[in-house]
Amino acid sequence: MNEANAFNPVPVTILTGFLGAGKTTLLNRILSEDHGHRIAVIENEFGEEGVDNDLLIQGEEQIVEMNNGCICCTVRGDLVRILGELADKRTAGGAEFDRVIIETTGLADPAPVAQTFFADRNIADFYTLDAIVTVVDAKHASNQLDDHHEAQEQVGFADRLLLSKTDLVSAEEVENLENRLRAMNSRAPIRHVHFGSCDIDEVLDIRGFNLQAILEVEPDFLEDVTHEHDDDISSFVYRSDRAFDAARIMAFFDVMVRVYGEDLLRYKGILQIEGQENRIIYQGVHMMMNADFGKPWSADEKRESVMVFIGRDLPKQAFIDAMDECRVPAVA
């Protein structure tokens, strides 16, 4: 393995995109492909609880989770620390990776994350920012871009735009969206990705990040940016160790998306369903939801359902009470 230093730094890709755009799907695809790259992944999630680790296929890679806040504001110090620790481990021979992917939360502004690679001397010496790659959800992007400045920042800062879920919309909608994206960011080539499938060369080693170009668009880039999230968005977690009745919980989700679909930006979790030996992964964005089989529960582990909801003014207690009602009766 080459020694990383200022002349041979480790390339870093910032993978961003609004809530539910398809970042984890793409990352899973990359991690499961035989491309010869050794990748360390840093994962950040919005909300108090992370479920992405369970959604990510674990291989040989180094995967570090950051769950206690959003990477672009409260946990930037954590990012510097984690990058430093990974660098030390690699130098000491304890970690074999030749590149890093940082998956940000769907609400992250990529600018402060990118700044880390210029602001901190030790980080700047060891790593180089290869590119900001933004996944754009073809089904939901136009509303997200209208409503959320985070979605606009993610497009504006991208060195590459990957359009997901084009299977869910018409060719005309794709074309209109591409025109809008080009008007917002003419620097970034646009590619399509279908359930994370795309050429790895479109994501890694694209040497897309150009500080000069960014400074032209955003002269204050290297200043400390103050940054705020849309404050009407919040998250909460439901958890229970009692299994759900399949029919009842699915009926609840049906009603939930019909009534709250507009305000439900993202929901995802692992469910324990009675009579089911596998975890059920249930997730969605607005009204589009899907369920899938996850890993089987092992005999010695505590079975627990954990579900994260991110949305606008969601009635937390009503959701929790309704989900409680969908559980099988407690054993006396």
**Strand order, beta sheet including 305-312:** 233-240, 305-312, 264-271, 278-285, 288-296
One residue of 194, 227, 248, 312 binding ligand GTP per CB under 6 A: 194
Stretch that binds ligand GTP, among 115-123, 142-150, 165-173, 198-206 (CB under 6 A): 165-173
The residue assigned the tokens 């790659």 is 133
Give whichever of 23 and 279 is closer to ligand GTP, judged by the CB atom: 23
For Cα atoms 129, 130, 131, give the angle at the middle one, nearest 5 degrees.
Answer: 100
Residue 47 binds to ligand GTP (criterion: CB under 6 A): no
Q: What number of chain residues touch ligand GTP (CB under 6 A)?
A: 19
Query: What gap in Å lies between CA 90 and CA 81, rounded to an integer?
Result: 14
193 to each of 7, 190, 203, 304, how far by Cα in Å? 33, 10, 11, 33
One residue of 11, 20, 156, 311 binding ligand GTP per CB under 6 A: 20
- What is the signed CA dihedral for 88, 92, 94, 98, rounded to 10 degrees? 70
Give whichever of 54 and 218 is closer to ligand GTP, judged by the CB atom: 54
One residue of 19, 82, 86, 214 binding ligand GTP per CB under 6 A: 19
For Cα atoms 24, 180, 131, give the angle at the middle one, nearest 5 degrees.
Answer: 45
Residue 168 binds to ligand GTP (criterion: CB under 6 A): yes
Give whichever of 266 and 279 is closer to ligand GTP, judged by the CB atom: 266
Distance in Å, CB of 265 to ligand GTP, minimum:
9
Name 270's bridge partners. 281, 306
* C-beta neighbour count of 205 within 10 angstroms: 13
Contact map string, positions 267 to 306, toward ligand GTP, x by CB under 6 A: -x--------------x------x----------------
List residues near ligand GTP by CB under 6 A: 17, 19-25, 106, 164-165, 167-168, 194-195, 266, 268, 283, 290
